[in-house]
Amino acid sequence: MQIRISWPSGQLTATLDETPTAKALTEALPISASAHTWGEEVYFDTGICVALEPGALQVVEPGTVAFWTEGDALALPYGPTPISRGGESRLASPCNVLGSFDGDPRLLATVRDGDPVRVELA
């Protein structure tokens, strides 16, 4: 499954794995929200509530599409966060891993706090 995430200054597509959370997300699309930034991570509310899956991770590769179950939010790290050790991408808590971006995740650096974000099927 592919999704497109767009904001005023750019967009990226991502390929999602077949997971329960990815299925719940795609069934809720399209989603529009306000972006928040936390270090080199963009996150935003999705309006969906899912359980933490086995295999959830706190440290992920930049460009991972993750779901933060504690905030019902997509978490999109493209570099270190305030709690990272070294150059790792450390999320606020373990998150369900949904997939990864197809392009350069550093493009997320152009997202500003409060930007409108839209997620839809690609």
β-pair type (116-121, 2-7)? antiparallel
Q: What pLDDT shows up at residue 11?
A: 98
- Quick one: what percent of the chain has pLDDT higher than 90? 98
- Quick one: what percent of the chain has pLDDT higher than 70? 100
3-state secondary structure 72-106: CEEEEECCCCCCCCCCCEEEEEEEEEEEEECCCHH
Q: Evaluate the CA torsion angle 86, 64, 29, 22 in order and state its sign.
A: negative
- To the nearest 10°, report the CA torsion of 32, 54, 1, 28: -30
How far is CA 61 from each of CA 21, 31, 104, rounded to the nearest angstrom? 19, 24, 12
Q: How confident is the model at residue 79 (pLDDT cuts 50, 70, 90)?
A: very high
Rounded to whole angstroms, the Cα distance separating 62 from 89 reads 6
For the full predicted model, state whether its pTM sits above 0.85: yes
